Structure 1
Amino acid sequence: MKEYRRKQLLERVNREAATIGASIPETIEVQGEPIDLREFVFEIKRRETVPPGERERVERAKRNLRRERIERLDRIEAGQVSYETGAELADAIIGIDRALDALESLEPADVEAEAERQDAVDTKRWMNFLKQALGREDASSSRTRF
């Protein structure tokens, strides 16, 4: 493959908006095993949250997809494949990125605990603001005791 073609493929894969309009591949081979990627992603996305029992499965899938993405990108970077093969690899990488984006956007399993934690942080921030605004931030520490 010519250098400028290799660079075009790499730019296409690394483009920030590469996944816009891209579809998740129906199947993809990860470490020699065919995976029904689209079905897996849609199955997980159908739920509002990922149950704790499924969380490990999703994390393992994301790790495997990231590893597969790196391996395919390395093949393009090495330039030892034809342009046609490189284009197929680039398409697959963009599909993997699309799947990873979908899996990364899943909400945490314990939404209520996260909301409570955020409320506590917001309350503390608000109380600190009020103390500072009312000039009572260090009132107890600045008093002199006799």
Structure 2
Amino acid sequence: MKEFERKQLLERVNREGATVGATIPETIGVQGDEVDLQAFVFEIKRRDTVPNGERERVERAKKNLRRERLQRLQRIEDGEVSYAEGERLVESIIGIDRALNALEGLGPADLEREAEAQEAADRKRWMKFLRKALGHEDTGHSTRGRL
């Protein structure tokens, strides 16, 4: 592969918006194993959040995808592949990026913690209302135990 071709390929990988319109590969070889990447991402994405039991699996998948992306990018950077193989690597890297973007956008599903935080906020508002209604406005003194 010629130097300018290598630079073109690297520019395509690093281009902002490279994943726009890109598809997630159906399967991909990651760390020596074939992974049904598209099915995995759609299964996790369908849930909107990552359940506690799946969080470790998703984090491990993201770590392996990042490692695989780096290895493929390194092959292009080193110039050890033909231009045609470089094209295939670029497409797979962009597909990996698309999958990573989809997985990164998911938040943890910790409904118990959210419910506890909501309950604590409600309790705080209620206590503030009671203090105000009973004429115990907060004057810098603790009213703990007086209500």
State which structure, 1 or 2, has the greater radius of gyration over its C-alpha atoms: 2
Corresponding letter in the other structure for 1:83: Y
Structure 1 position 26, deviation (Å): 0.4
* 1:13 matched residue in structure 2: 13
Q: TM-score, normalised by structure 1?
A: 0.77
**Do the aligned partners of 2:51 and 2:108 also contact (CA within 8 Å) in 1?**
no
Structure 1 position 47, deviation (Å): 0.7
Corresponding letter in the other structure for 1:52: N
Aligned equivalents of 2:49, 2:66: Cα separation in 1: 22
Large movers: runs of 4+ above 2 Å:
111-117
Alignment of 1:55-70 (within 5 A): 55-70=55-70
Aligned equivalents of 1:63, 1:75: Cα separation in 2: 19
Equivalent position SS for 1:50: strand
* 1:110 matched residue in structure 2: 110
Name the structure with the higher strand share.
2
Tell me: CA distance 1:17–1:112, structure 2 relative to 1, closer, same or farther (3 Å).
farther
Structure 1 position 97, deviation (Å): 0.2
- Identify unmatched segments of 5+ residues in structure 1: 121-138, 140-146
Q: How many residues align?
A: 122
* 1:41 matched residue in structure 2: 41
Deviations 1:69-117 (A, max 9, x none): 0000000000111000000000000000000000000022225736949
Aligned equivalents of 1:9, 1:104: Cα separation in 2: 25
Q: TM-score, normalised by structure 2?
A: 0.76
Aligned equivalents of 1:36, 1:67: Cα separation in 2: 17
Corresponding letter in the other structure for 2:13: V
Aligned equivalents of 2:90, 2:59: Cα separation in 1: 23
Alignment of 1:81-92 (within 5 A): 81-92=81-92
* 2:131 matched residue in structure 1: none
Deviations 1:12-61 (A, max 9, x none): 00011000000000000011111000000000011132111100000000
Between the aligned residues of both structures, percent identity stands at 71
- Identify unmatched segments of 5+ residues in structure 2: 122-139, 141-147
Aligned equivalents of 2:111, 2:55: Cα separation in 1: 14
Check if 1:99 corresponds to 2:99.
yes
**Do the aligned partners of 2:27 and 2:38 also contact (CA within 8 Å) in 1?**
yes
Equivalent position SS for 2:17: coil
Corresponding letter in the other structure for 1:53: G
